[in-house]
Amino acid sequence: MSLLRHGLRPAPLLWGVAVAVPLGFLAVFFAWPVAALVVRGFVPDGALDLTGFAEVLSRPRTWRLVGLTLTQAVLGTAFSVLLGLPLAYLLYRRSFPGRSLARGLVTVPFVLPAVVVGVAFRALFAPGGTLGFLGLEESLAGIVVALVFFNVSVVVRTVGGLWERLDPRAEEAAASLGAAPARVFRTVTLPSLAPAITSAASVVFLFCATAFGVVLVLGGVRYGTIETEIWTRTTQFLDLRSASVLSILQLVVISAALAVSARARRRREAALHLVSARRTARPLSWRSPADVAASLAGVAIVAGLIVLPLAGLVARSFREPDGSWGPGNYVALGTTGERNALVVTVWEATATSLRIALAATLISLVVGGLVALVVSRRPRSAGTRRAIGTLDGLFMLPLGVSAVTVGFGFLITMDQPVLGLDLRTSGLLVPVAQAVVAVPLVVRTVLPVLRAIDPRLREVAAVLGSGPGRVLRTVDLPIALRSLGLATGFAFAVSLGEFGATSFLARPDGATLPVVIYRLIGRPGAENYGMALAASVVLAALTATVMMVAELLRDDRAGGEF
């Protein structure tokens, strides 16, 4: 029965606000700063100068960097998906003691400062390191391993969030008809998970293509990307023209990847029957070959890819400057470091990070939630469908633009009040910049669940007399609550670990924890380096705690049974 006949079309004003608020946010806090920096690069003396395009694009180095960027992004994405699927099955489709702890542990690498992770892996890959015999120092393989370390949790949590709510009866029916477990997975489960897998892969590709700290530390002089070249041209040579050309080139590459991803996702989307996670989670069984294989793969992945680097980081944090073992580096976190390397202590920076992350999370949930709600609609008009697809792609662009570009753009454009608000003195400048990065993650986390809602549920609610607002409140919101909890954890964690734009915007007396860690690493002195390692452990523990609390607060009863 027609949705219009039962009044399911929401008031145009409400949908207009739902579209205008995110678009206004994107225009003011992303498009304007980025465009301002790019324009400054092409109009150096008040006159338009486009010769930089020919100059930069004619350099063999430029195309070598493009090739390396795409290669590391494709490999990092492929391995993240391959390793993330068995972990998603284990952590979201099976129940066992300590599952929440394991979920939090898997998420920790995603928000660690990139520079610290680079240093940790470099120590592992060095000739005298634990994995020195592999010869991965300053190699593409080493960079890819570190990128997978960062991004496998994106696949696990994005795919797992949908997988745990898939109705198992379709799989059970296929098995009862004689289909082998592998065939059930290939023909029933995998098609249902395809939208979530595609969404996760697109996000991972963006993170891998724009990786900065890891490539800078592990790549050495042989391996670089468009991102590191933008940073080099901007900070070391003040060559804004070349940086602008490279920023546009990076944006073109990312936009093309997003277009391919969106088309693949649309071809695989379908309404799914979602149920309570309590109906899908089964106790881990050692009699099941699938459970045994997933368990062995999960243990190997977690131990080799996640625990080993983190354990090395923790162990080194207890190595004091004189070579002895003890808590000296943690005691020093209450100071400003050797030779007053810092303006604030690490504990003060931690409090600042928590406060900023909370504000950034609230902003990103409002903006990202509105985007996901609008984009999840299935209008009949082809023009409206194209407009919704364009909106979806627009809000992925912040992940594909250099953090250096965004940070410098903020400095250029936010040096005066915006809409009557002086962001420089309000304390909102850094949270807004972090929210720009977090919004795409909120959208990609919530959207697969909203799109999987059967439209007939909304029709039934409308037939029973529910207005548009009540339909959203009683149908969409309960189903989306669990994914919103996941989105909250992701947004908070990303804000805690964001470094690129924050490093340009945070004042010395308002530095966040990642900025403080980077400053400690860059200052001479064994005490400063030890403090940096200890502060990194604090950040990792804080992030794990946040994600585990988010898991505990995601009460399955809020979603009911569908």
Reading the chain (562 residues) residue by residue, the pLDDT tens digits are 444 444 444 556 777 888 889 999 999 899 998 888 778 777 766 777 778 788 888 999 899 999 999 999 999 999 999 999 999 999 988 888 888 788 878 877 876 777 778 878 877 887 777 788 888 888 899 999 999 998 998 899 889 888 887 877 777 788 888 888 788 888 888 888 888 898 889 889 988 888 887 888 788 767 888 888 887 887 777 787 888 888 888 878 877 877 777 776 666 555 555 565 566 667 887 878 888 888 898 899 988 888 888 888 888 889 888 888 999 999 999 999 888 889 999 999 999 999 999 999 999 999 998 888 888 877 777 777 788 878 877 887 787 677 777 877 887 787 677 666 667 667 788 899 899 988 988 888 888 778 777 666 766 766 666 666 676 766 777 777 767 777 888 889 888 888 877 877 888 888 899 888 888 877 888 898 889 889 988 988 888 788 777 766 654 433 333 3
Which domains are present in the chain? 12-42+60-271+302-317+333-556 (1.10.3720.10)
Q: What are the φ/ψ torsions at residue 312 (nearest 5 degrees)?
A: -65, -40
Q: How far apart are CA 468 and CA 476, in angstroms?
A: 11
Residue 6 is predicted with a pLDDT of: 41
Q: What residues are paired with 94 via a beta bridge?
A: 282
Q: How far apart are CA 42 and CA 48, in angstroms?
A: 6
Asked if residue 543 lies in contact with residue 350, where contact means CB atoms within 8 angstroms, the answer is: no
Bridge partners, residue 166, by sequence: 274
The token duo for 495 is: 């804000």
The DSSP code for 10 is: P
Residues 103, 96 contacting (CB under 8 angstroms) = no
Rounded Cα distance between 321 and 434, Å, is 34
Distance CA 8, CA 142 (A): 53
pLDDT value for 71: 94
- Contact between residue 227 and residue 212 where contact means Cβ atoms under 8 Å apart: yes
Q: Is 337 left (phi over 0), alpha (psi -120 to 50) or beta?
A: left
DSSP state at residue 219: S
DSSP annotation of 235 reads I
DSSP strands (E only) in 82-183: 94-95
Question: Is 211 in contact with 199 (CB distance < 8 Å)?
Answer: no
Side chain identity at residue 353, one-letter code? S
In single-letter form, the type of residue at position 39 comes to V
Query: What is the pLDDT at residue 462?
Result: 67
If you ran DSSP here, which 8-state letter would residue 473 be given? Answer: I
In the three-class reduction of DSSP (H, G, I as helix; E, B as strand; rest coil), residue 94 is classed as: strand
Strand pairing of 94-95 and 282-283? Answer: parallel
Report DSSP state, residue 162: H
